[in-house]
Structure 1
């Protein structure tokens, strides 16, 4: 309750302009909460991840991994299950993103090790985790070394990162600069333009613009838990593989028949559904149907971000049974 009250106060202060944005303040609230009660899940269950855009969750995870590192303990082998008690809630994605923040606290300047831990998770877990890694990494470097042309140009080197991580790193640089400049686009733009790599500069501006717009949107019309997207991974083949599902709707009765390449589940409301499915689980030709009808809004994309993963996104007209099956 005290943690929720602290976040409510942070939101109020940001709305009246006494602080720029409550997101990073809520990181500190999360740090303090974990120090007082060193249990990740006990600090997260019952909290509202929409408050201050998940910053409290990021702070709790960062504090957890910081303590593991300070104690000289090995990196937790069960790190990818730390958030599992939150699966099925909209808070699960804040927790997985927070893992990325925490990894940087553990591995510090060893960016490659943090990214590898993210990559060992499922496709969308990796996306969320890598976003947290890059936000914490860019914040750490710019805080410790200051912002200069040399520092910011060498922050996300194209020669050292694959294309996906290069993009994410520069976008995160823009997000970080938004906080450094009190979400002032003109001031942030001047700093993005210090980046020598033109592509990196453009991605930085993209991240800066996104963060400013997202911050303003949160202050004007905060998301609610009911409306917010829920990340609901489905573990198959004994838990060794994951089918990632995102939707404001609640997923239930999930079934997967690997030999038939048949996936089915029930949605409780007509809200968009986005899925990331390992290619090995899909037929090259398939039918996506809701209550036996093919949705009007349906998008299928293979090898997303160069990975052997396909995206299926659709907007159903009704709640009910979803079936993805081979086209015979």
Structure 2
């Protein structure tokens, strides 16, 4: 019999080797039975080990389950863009009639069959096909902020190369309906930025555009770029800013232009919020309201983009002690509006961020602004307003510096103010609501409102609107015709 003497160090190594082998064996056995997504399918045989898919559906039989397959039908178009992701013969439906372009005999829904149509495809579909790879790259990004930045850069390049800004807006609307763009409003800002940089002319950039598209974001972008370039060149603040939108008075685009001024002021004055607000205050009453909304949207967006979204940042954006009451309320609500864009219009995620705000009123205003933005976004996608039904802002200038602001979907004409008797008269072309904001010096304590000699059934008035020397009169006429507003004793 032969005996071997084993050195203590060697013996230790042999024991360690045995333990390591045992641990490795146990780990391999554990891996065999692991179920990362807890769907009762072991990872070793799960075609989507990180996504719950107990049915193991795999439409294209490529070994990757539908839950984690980015192209279920293997048609070279990712599911992010594919509106028919289980039909390899169709992927697009840009007229949104439920029929894929391959089967649709009238792709643009213009009533002319494709075989007889010289331009059978909508511009949004043409551009998507042309820039499919770029769009797909952005759509693939999981983080909403990264995706938004990617799309902003893409649309900026698109405006430069295609030269048709309406087509770019149509594409952004289509992608938002598909769901690859959170909301085209922010994207349209970038389209407006680049459009102005290409023309360096506000009027030319806005000419022929439609403010109903993407809720006026294009207009906001044009004005923002205009003031940004002035500030960048270190030129003085333009005294003509109060009239820069005048060519649009009476159209539904005028409000978007005035709102865009607010965005532009922040681009010019930067962190000097008071200077932006003071510039808005020099406008008429309702112009001021629209302008301040633009200021606060741009101000909050700048803050979150620059500093990130944290409890400290979000709690100190809007200071009730440093801002006038109305400006503070608008700042707080705009915080919620902006958070909607940073959270992919997800109310619960946005509300979670609003709840970081310590001050109760600010927190509640934030949640309300978030709710309204998501509501407006959904309403726009489901039932966009036509130009005819969209409210028009139609200011009437009195004595050079005073203004009577009128809001209505109806067109106001033949306006006249007779100061000697304090009477206002004008005509409206259809029975739609009318709202007037009148400087208190132009109205008596009691005013009689008639339309074609009849007092409208729906009539209300208010003094000192938003604690300012402004009276508000609102009515809904039964028919179009002549409106008279006169003192009544």
Does the aligned pair in 2 maintain the 1:45–1:86 contact within 8 Å? no
Is 2:180 aligned against 1:18?
Answer: yes
Identify which of structures 1 and 2 has the higher relative contact order when contacts are C-alpha pairs closer than 8 Å and 6+ apart. 1
Is 2:409 aligned against 1:266?
Answer: no
| 2:128 aligned residue | none
* 1:38-64 deviation per Cα after TM superposition (whole angstroms, max 9, x unaligned): 110111121110000000000000000
| 1:36 aligned residue | 198
| 1:182 aligned residue | 344
* 1:144-186 deviation per Cα after TM superposition (whole angstroms, max 9, x unaligned): 0011111111100111111101100000000000000000000
| 1:317 aligned residue | 478
Match of 1:308 among 469, 474, 482: 469
| 1:207 aligned residue | 369
* 1:264-310 deviation per Cα after TM superposition (whole angstroms, max 9, x unaligned): 00000000000000000001111011011110000100000000000
| 1:169 aligned residue | 331
- Alpha-carbon distance in structure 2 between the residues aligned to 1:226 and 1:294: 25
Is 2:286 aligned against 1:124?
Answer: yes
- Alpha-carbon distance in structure 1 between the residues aligned to 2:282 and 2:205: 26
| 1:57 aligned residue | 219
Q: CA RMSD in A?
A: 0.7
Residue 389 of structure 2: SS of its match in structure 1? coil
- Alpha-carbon distance in structure 2 between the residues aligned to 1:172 and 1:53: 15
Structure 2: 5+ residue stretches without partners = 1-162
Q: 1:259 deviation in Å?
A: 1.9
| 2:237 aligned residue | 75
| 2:90 aligned residue | none
| 1:191 aligned residue | 353
When the two structures are aligned, how many residues end up with a matched partner? Answer: 327
| 1:113 aligned residue | 275
Is 2:444 aligned against 1:283?
Answer: yes
Scaled by the length of structure 2, the TM-score of the pair is 0.66
Match of 1:248 among 383, 398, 409: 409
- Alpha-carbon distance in structure 2 between the residues aligned to 1:9 and 1:150: 37
Is 2:266 aligned against 1:104?
Answer: yes
Is 2:332 aligned against 1:155?
Answer: no
Does the aligned pair in 2 maintain the 1:11–1:52 contact within 8 Å? yes
Residue 225 of structure 1: SS of its match in structure 2? coil
Match of 1:135 among 289, 297, 309: 297
| 2:454 aligned residue | 293
- Alpha-carbon distance in structure 1 between the residues aligned to 2:180 and 2:309: 25
- Alpha-carbon distance in structure 2 between the residues aligned to 1:44 and 1:197: 40
Moved over 4 A (4+): none
Structure 1: 5+ residue stretches without partners = none
* 1:212-264 deviation per Cα after TM superposition (whole angstroms, max 9, x unaligned): 01111111111111110000000011x21100000000000000011211000
Does the aligned pair in 2 maintain the 1:43–1:60 contact within 8 Å? yes
- Alpha-carbon distance in structure 2 between the residues aligned to 1:54 and 1:293: 37
- Alpha-carbon distance in structure 1 between the residues aligned to 2:250 and 2:447: 27
Residue 287 of structure 2: SS of its match in structure 1? helix
- Alpha-carbon distance in structure 2 between the residues aligned to 1:115 and 1:198: 24
Residue 288 of structure 1: SS of its match in structure 2? strand
Scaled by the length of structure 1, the TM-score of the pair is 0.99
| Structure whose residues are more often strand by fraction | 1
Instruction: Indicate the structure (1 or 2) with the bigger Cα radius of gyration.
Output: 2
| 1:6 aligned residue | 168
| 1:219 aligned residue | 381
| 2:54 aligned residue | none
